[in-house]
C-alpha cells in the first residue's frame, strides 16, 4: 500500500458521517499512515489532545473563513480558479482526503485520493449556501484537473460523476459505507425530551434542505397519525434548514426536534422507534437508513438518489417531491400488516450486516492499492 497522509481537517468541524469515516479509516491505517493533517499542521497521531484539537479547529475555521472572506466574489474566486502548481512528488506523501472541499487547502497531484460523498453542491446548489456551493465548484474543478483518484460511496454517485463530469470509470473506485460500531456498542440512553412510553417514527440526519425534513413534518401532520397517538422524532444537528424545520414542527402536533444526540441516545431511539422515515431528496449513500435496518426497523425512503440501491427491496419508497406520496407512504409504514413480522426484521438486519466496517475497509484497501 502506498504510504498516505490522511487529511483529518473535516473532523474538527463536522460530526456527521465524514467524521466517523475519517476516524475509522485512521484507526485502520494506524502507524502505517504518513501523518495526519489538521489544517496546516501535521501530527503523527489523529487522537489530538484537547488543546491540539482546539488549535486545529481554529486553524481549519480560519482557512475556510479566508475562502469565504469579505472580498468580492469575483476577486475571491478568480484567485482560486487559477490552475495551481503541481507539487513535486517528493515534497510530501500522497494524501487521502475525505471531503473535496479540502483540496483547496493544498495543491493535489495524481497520487492523491479524494472521497466524494455527494454531488448536490454542484447539481443542486440551491440547497446550499451560495458561497459554499461556489467553493465546492472550485474544489471539483481542481480535483478533476489534478488527475487524483476518486473514492465514491455508491454506484449512484459513481454514475453521477460520469454523467455530470465525464469522469472515467478507471479514475473512480466505489466503496460503500457501513454501520458504525460506536453506535452498535453504545450504552442506550433515553433522551431527556422523550417520554419512554412514546410510540414514534424516527428521522435521523442534519437539518438541511437536502434532507427534506420540512416535507416529512408536513406529511406527518397531514397523515393524521398524530390523532392515533403517534409521534415524529427528529434527531440531528443544525444546518441550513434548521430554523424552518423548527418553525414547521411548532405548527404540527406530536413532532419533536431533538437536535444533535449522543450515540447512546441515538441507539435508544433506534431501539424504541416503531419505524424510520428518510425521504431525503438526494443521498450519496444514506447511512441512517442502514443504521435503522441494522435495528430491524421498517423504513420509508426516497425513490431518488442512492437510497433504492442501498435498501434494496426492504423499504417503502416514495417520491420526496410529492407530498401525497409521502403521506401515503407514512400511513403504509405504520399500518402495513407485515411491519412487525419477525422474519422481515431479521431480513433487514441481515441486509444491513452486508454494510460492515470490515467490508468497507477491505474495499478501501483495494482502492488504495490500485
> Does the CA dihedral 284-146-68-115 come out positive or negative?
positive
Quick one: which of 261, 252, 192, 190 has its CA closest to 225? 252
Stated as kind and residue range, the H or E segment containing 251 is none
pLDDT at residue number 76? 53
Residue holding cell 454506484? 155
* Separation of alpha carbons 330 and 322, rounded Å: 13
Per residue of the chain (370 residues), give pLDDT as tens.
Answer: 568 999 999 999 888 889 999 999 999 988 788 999 998 889 999 999 989 889 989 989 888 888 877 654 445 555 555 544 444 445 789 999 999 999 999 889 889 999 999 999 999 999 998 888 999 999 999 999 999 999 999 999 999 999 988 888 778 999 999 998 889 899 999 999 999 999 999 999 999 999 999 999 999 999 999 999 999 999 999 999 999 999 999 999 999 999 999 999 999 999 999 999 999 999 999 999 999 999 999 999 999 999 999 998 889 999 999 999 999 999 999 987 555 676 788 999 999 999 999 999 999 998 888 6
Domain 182-353 in the same topology as domain 4-178+357-369: yes
Which residues does 173 contact at the CB level (< 8 Å), separation at least 6? 149, 150, 151, 152, 363, 366, 367, 370
Predicted structure pTM score: 0.91
Print burial letters for 180-194: b (CB count within 10 Å at least 16), e (below 16): beebeebeeeebeeb
pLDDT at residue number 367? 86
Quick one: which of 4, 23, 8, 107 has its CA closest to 56? 8
Helix (H, G, I), strand (E, B) or coil at 261: coil
Residue 257, all three cell numbers = 426536534
Question: Is residue 150 a contact partner of residue 158, using CB atoms and an 8 Å limit?
Answer: no
* Separation of alpha carbons 109 and 302, rounded Å: 37
> Does the CA dihedral 44-47-49-52 come out positive or negative?
positive
Q: Are strands 172-174 and 94-97 parallel, antiparallel or unpaired?
A: unpaired
The class that CATH gives domain 182-353 is alpha beta
Domain ranges across the chain: 4-178+357-369, 182-353
Quick one: which of 125, 163, 161 has its CA closest to 144? 161
CATH number among 3.40.1350, 2.40.30, 3.40.720, 3.40.50, domain 4-178+357-369: 3.40.50
pLDDT at residue number 363? 93
User: How far from 76 is each of 69, 70, 72, 82, 99, CA to CA, in Å?
Assistant: 8, 9, 6, 11, 21
Quick one: which of 54, 58, 32, 42 has its CA closest to 8? 42
Helix (H, G, I), strand (E, B) or coil at 87: coil
* Separation of alpha carbons 176 and 126, rounded Å: 27
Question: Is residue 136 a contact partner of residue 122, using CB atoms and an 8 Å limit?
Answer: yes
Between the CA atoms of 271, 274, 279 and 282, what dihedral angle is there, to the nearest 10 degrees?
20
The angle, 0 to 180 degrees and rounded to 10, between the axes of the packed helices 357-369 and 17-29 is: 70
pLDDT at residue number 170? 79
Amino acid at each position: 500500500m502506498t504510504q498516505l497522509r490522511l487529511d483529518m481537517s473535516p473532523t474538527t468541524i463536522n460530526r456527521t458521517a465524514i467524521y466517523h469515516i475519517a476516524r475509522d479509516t485512521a484507526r485502520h491505517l494506524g502507524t502505517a499512515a504518513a501523518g495526519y493533517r489538521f489544517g496546516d499542521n501535521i501530527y503523527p497521531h489523529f487522537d489530538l489532545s484537547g488543546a491540539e484539537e482546539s488549535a486545529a479547529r481554529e486553524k481549519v475555521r480560519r482557512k475556510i473563513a479566508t475562502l469565504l472572506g469579505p472580498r468580492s466574489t469575483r476577486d475571491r474566486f478568480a484567485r482560486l480558479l487559477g490552475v495551481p502548481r503541481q507539487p513535486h512528488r517528493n515534497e510530501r506523501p500522497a494524501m487521502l482526503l475525505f471531503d473535496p472541499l479540502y483540496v483547496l487547502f493544498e495543491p493535489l497531484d495524481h497520487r492523491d485520493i479524494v472521497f466524494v460523498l455527494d454531488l448536490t453542491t454542484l447539481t443542486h446548489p440551491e440547497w446550499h449556501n451560495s458561497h459554499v456551493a461556489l467553493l465546492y465548484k472550485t474544489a471539483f474543478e481542481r480535483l478533476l484537473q489534478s488527475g487524483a483518484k476518486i473514492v465514491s460511496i455508491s454506484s449512484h454517485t459513481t454514475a453521477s460523476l460520469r454523467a455530470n463530469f465525464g469522469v472515467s470509470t478507471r479514475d473512480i473506485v466505489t466503496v460503500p459505507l457501513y454501520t458504525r460500531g460506536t453506535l452498535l456498542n453504545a450504552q442506550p440512553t433515553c433522551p431527556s425530551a422523550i417520554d419512554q412510553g412514546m410510540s414514534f417514527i424516527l428521522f435521523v440526519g442534519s437539518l438541511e434542505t437536502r434532507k427534506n425534513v420540512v416535507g416529512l413534518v408536513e406529511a406527518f401532520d397531514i397523515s393524521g397519525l398524530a390523532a392515533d397517538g403517534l409521534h415524529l422524532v427528529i434527531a440531528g444537528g443544525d444546518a441550513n434548514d434548521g430554523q424552518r424545520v423548527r418553525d414547521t414542527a411548532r405548527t404540527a402536533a406530536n413532532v419533536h426536534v431533538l437536535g444533535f444526540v449522543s450515540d447512546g441516545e441515538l441507539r435508544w431511539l433506534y431501539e424504541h422507534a416503531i419505524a424510520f422515515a428518510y425521504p431525503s431528496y438526494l443521498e450519496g449513500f444514506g447511512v441512517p437508513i442502514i443504521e435503522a435496518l441494522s435495528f430491524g426497523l421498517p423504513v420509508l425512503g426516497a425513490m431518488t438518489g442512492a437510497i433504492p440501491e442501498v435498501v434494496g427491496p426492504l423499504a417503502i419508497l416514495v417520491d420526496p417531491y410529492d407530498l401525497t406520496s409521502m403521506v401515503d407512504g407514512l400511513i403504509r409504514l405504520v399500518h402495513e400488516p407485515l411491519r412487525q413480522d419477525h422474519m422481515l426484521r431479521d431480513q433487514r438486519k441481515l441486509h444491513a450486516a452486508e454494510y460492515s466496517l470490515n467490508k468497507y475497509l477491505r474495499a478501501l484497501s483495494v482502492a488504495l492499492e490500485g
